[in-house]
Chains A and B, each alone.
Chain A
């Protein structure tokens, strides 16, 4: 495998993990964000939570794997990014903690107050990680003031700038639209209608920050070929807006998949050959070539990934097949707790 550029392959693999995360957890977050908007009563909200019930935990693993693979393949990238974005990352983690237990625990006590409180945790636990992950990714693409040791110069506020905040809103906006389309796709009855109307109204605005981010990234760091991805993202986004407006939920969802794929291509394509640019001195930037682990480590990981990743896609795909049925109020069993 010596002729293959393993660091570049792993850069692409990590981008693919992030894509998997943004696409899958994107609608999980969207469902959580929209809980109080689309869910008129507790039964509605249970319908929504149960659209992602069997899958949200598996979706979240894409984040763990993206981060774990970064640690293994590009240790300095993992170390510098996560320590520089320390406090925003802390917020993401706390929010994910709350959201995870909220799904599992909200139905375990028959009390309106109990459920309302957990619903609040789900809403906050969906907005905050979407914003935080957007901030983290855009900080990695747009750069952080790094010194020669790879440590952040200045306070934690150095990573909270207008451009990274735009990145935060971009991911949250995408998740919002994606979630609305997902609810329309996975439910039946009134809630489906409401989700479709909401997606129709929200999608033109909700996708704008993402396009704004892509424009900023493309103008600052993009190459000629990433313009193609920008164009694809825009067209697919427009198609998503158009298809949901005429009630074609499946097509809109597919168009959003293309949108986020093209967006990840723009972000990581513009980042390459860096993994984490330094905004104070380009000599301090972390690059794919210099940050990569040894060829042996990457080779081991490549073999493992080549065998395991297709199997993962198969059984995760099977899960979506098993739970393919739309659900509605009539499917939700009565509350029965001891």
Chain B
């Protein structure tokens, strides 16, 4: 493997990994703030215990999310220095804003929240939870604005061969951002919701099995209900914003959408493929049998059942005419130097990632609604498959999120900055030309080191989350169970 392949694997692994923790942090931090608000307003022990329990899981996860995020801030410069030089004038600003506006608030107020239980007045402490959780949402906004600019560059002109920012407002209100941001946030809530349903459902089932009807004032029932409702709303939000994204994608990145469908030839009207067998990577598509819903793709693309959707083969010809047939001859491009440009993303990846994203997301929301039905009006599910189902379902929205990002990032290859069809000429960049001039040994070292450390982190985080999830509220409540500690004692309410 050359530097380009290694650098791409590294970026893919570290980013997908980072984005396992991030959506859980975003979704769960807001839900914990909601729980704490309920406690401060009603004074009911149930909400206090929920805040403590889910807050503990949030903290275990947050630590791993933060530290893997630091890598991201450096990685653009380390492995993608040519890219960073090219886009810095535009792309750097939202990254710097993310740090100044979001990360400072996030980390400072999290520290206040963790250690402030006995130090701050109740309402101030609650405000810290909200500051922290809203900052996590804000950070998602800025980084998605940066990413959306790569998908659909706006608000810039080309000066001396490089994009130069002309309108920050256009970058921050890029229609791609406005669709992708709520989509990502809805995905974050889907993840947190599945955790609430899964762990809450397991506890509820266990309490029923052990004949403990009290079950802490209904902590687990409330958690399951909250999770199922949030999950259902999140899935509706995902569908709506996903549809918005799809329509933009047809205009802005037609190749990505054709790749999502593995649509080889232009169709009018085009059907939406539900499932295919055979090798979807064949450019001639002869060996693919696909179950399709007639004309649905046309509708998804243009809100019109009769419209034309361009296929991969036609688009390749268009792209060649617009963006060239061969890579420049440049030793830094390695094997690709002077070679023909392959404008087609890896079709099996884009096709299956897209389908699985939608399918797993839908199953996850369905299981949430099923759990809601099974626990209706005080019912306690007794069947053995219930806890297995809700626990296994925790993985689904995580996978769906990862697959969505894998689809959107691999679907824009071979570009790192995708040309905007209605934008400025020359504002695009091939992934191959963005990589740093490093030795393969350097990148291989970092790829192995980061992957190994991340694997260890994953094992430890899963171990700790499982341990604390299993222990329930007994593991997180103060021994004397004093919920309104106003007297400043000698002992810290919380210490590492």
B residues near A, CB below 8 A? 59-60, 62-64, 66-68, 70-71, 73-74, 76-79, 81-82, 84-85, 87-93, 95-101, 103-105, 107-112, 114-116, 119-120, 159, 164-166, 168, 436-439, 442, 445-446, 449-450, 453, 457, 460, 464, 467-468, 470-472, 474-476, 479, 490-496
B491: chain A residues at CB < 8 Å are 330-333
Give min CB distance, A32 to chain B, whole Å: 12
Give min CB distance, B435 to chain A, whole Å: 10
In the complex with contacts A86-B438, A93-B74, A304-B100 CB distance below 8 A:
yes
B105: chain A residues at CB < 8 Å are 315
Q: Is A322 an interface residue (CB 8 A)?
A: yes
Give min CB distance, B494 to chain A, whole Å: 8
A residues near B, CB below 8 A? 46, 49-50, 53-58, 60-61, 63-65, 67-69, 71-76, 78-83, 86-87, 89-90, 93-94, 96-98, 100-101, 103-109, 149-152, 155-156, 293-294, 296-297, 300-301, 304-305, 308-309, 312, 315-316, 319, 322-323, 327, 330-333, 336-338
Residue on B nearest A71 in the bound complex, by CB: B92
A337: chain B residues at CB < 8 Å are 475
Question: Do the beta carbons of B114 and A155 come within 8 Å of each other?
Answer: no
B82: chain A residues at CB < 8 Å are 79
Residue on A nearest B109 in the bound complex, by CB: A315
A-B contact count (CB 8 A): 253
Question: Do the beta carbons of B100 and A106 come within 8 Å of each other?
Answer: no
Question: Do the beta carbons of A82 and B74 come within 8 Å of each other?
Answer: yes
Question: Do the beta carbons of B445 and A87 come within 8 Å of each other?
Answer: yes
Question: Do the beta carbons of B70 and A93 come within 8 Å of each other?
Answer: yes
Give min CB distance, A103 to chain B, whole Å: 6
A336: chain B residues at CB < 8 Å are 479
In the complex with contacts A331-B491, A338-B471, A294-B164 CB distance below 8 A:
yes
Question: Do the beta carbons of A338 and B70 come within 8 Å of each other?
Answer: no
In the complex with contacts A75-B89, A294-B159, A65-B63 CB distance below 8 A:
no
Partner of B165, one of A81, A90, A296: A296
Question: Do the beta carbons of B93 and A297 come within 8 Å of each other?
Answer: yes
Question: Do the beta carbons of A67 and B59 come within 8 Å of each other?
Answer: no
In the complex with contacts A53-B115, A82-B81, A97-B453, A293-B63 CB distance below 8 A:
no
In the complex with contacts A54-B111, A319-B108, A323-B115, A155-B96 CB distance below 8 A:
no
Question: Do the beta carbons of B96 and A57 come within 8 Å of each other?
Answer: no
Question: Do the beta carbons of A103 and B496 come within 8 Å of each other?
Answer: yes
Question: Do the beta carbons of A68 and B84 come within 8 Å of each other?
Answer: no
In the complex with contacts A53-B496, A57-B66, A297-B89, A97-B71 CB distance below 8 A:
yes
Question: Do the beta carbons of A71 and B68 come within 8 Å of each other?
Answer: no
Partner of B63, one of A79, A101, A301, A319: A101
Question: Do the beta carbons of A71 and B496 come within 8 Å of each other?
Answer: no
Docked CA distance A56–B70 (Å) = 14
Question: Do the beta carbons of B100 and A296 come within 8 Å of each other?
Answer: no
